[in-house]
A and B are shown apart, each in its own frame.
Chain A
Amino acid sequence: DSGVTQTPKHLITATGQRVTLRCSPRSGDLSVYWYQQSLDQGLQFLIQYYNGEERAKGNILERFSAQQFPDLHSELNLSSLELGDSALYFCASSVDPSGGASEQFFGPGTRLTVL
C-alpha cells in the first residue's frame, strides 16, 4: 500500500459525459501528479500540482482539467468524453516540491471505460 488513494476504482460512462476522478496523496506529500496509461500511448504525464498550485503540464487535453484543494486532495475532471479517453488514470504524490530525485508514490489507479 503506497498510501495514495484513488476513487473510484472503476468508472464506466458514455461518450459526451463528464467524470471526476479523486486522489488523496500520502500524508505530508505536497505534490500531486496525474498520469494516463493507455495501450496506444503508454504512461503519459498529464499535470502536476504543488500545494494547490499548478506547476507543470504535460499532454493534457483541453477537455481535461484538475485542481488541488486546501486539504491537498486532487481531482481530475474529464469532460466531453470520447472512446479514446478510455484508460487507466494514476495519481502519484511526492514530498519534494521540486520533484526530481524524489520518489513518486502511485495510487492503484482509476480504470475509465467510455462506451
Chain B
Amino acid sequence: AQSVTQLGSHVSVSEGALVLLRCNYSSSVPPYLFWYVQYPNQGLQLLLKYTTGATLVKGINGFEAEFKKSETSFHLTKPSAHMSDAAEYFCAVSVSWGSQGNLIFGKGTKLSVKP
C-alpha cells in the first residue's frame, strides 16, 4: 500500500532563504508523485508532479522537486523564499490501477516566511 511521510509539520525560513520541504513515500509500484499547496481558506493547487521521465521536475512559482527512487524521496525546493510562499504544502502519491486514481496525502508542512 502507498503512503507518504512529510518530515516537519512546520518549517520557518527567512525571506530569500532556501526552502526545503521533505517528502518520503512508500509504494510497491512506480509512483506518481505530486506536491500541492493550500493557501488559507482555499482549496489545493497543484505545484508540480512526477509521472515518468526526467527526475527533476519544475513547477509553478519557482518550485522544483527531485524524484530519487533509491531514497524513496520527492523533496520540494525553492532557491529563494518569498513572503507569498507562506502556505501549507502537501505531498501526495497517486493510487493508480484500473480506473482508480485517488491521492494519498502526507500530513502537510506549514511554511512560514519571516521578513
Q: Are A99 and B99 in contact (CB under 8 A)?
A: yes
Cα–Cα, bound, A56→B103 (Å):
11
Known contacts A99-B96, A101-B96; is-contact A58 B102 (Cβ 8 Å): yes
Q: Which residues of A contact B61 (CB under 8 A)?
A: none
Q: Are B101 and A31 in contact (CB under 8 A)?
A: yes
B60-115 residues with Cβ-Cβ distance < 8 A to A are 90, 94-96, 98-108
Q: Are A107 and B43 in contact (CB under 8 A)?
A: yes
A19-74 residues with Cβ-Cβ distance < 8 A to B are 31, 33, 35, 42-45, 48, 50, 55-56, 58
Classify chain B: how many residues form its interface, as a range: 20 to 34
Known contacts A100-B94, A101-B94, A103-B49; is-contact A55 B43 (Cβ 8 Å): no
Q: Which residues of A contact B100 (CB under 8 A)?
A: 48, 55-56, 98-99
What is the interface of chain A, defined by CB distance below 8 A to chain B? 2, 4, 31, 33, 35, 42-45, 48, 50, 55-56, 58, 90, 92, 94, 96-109
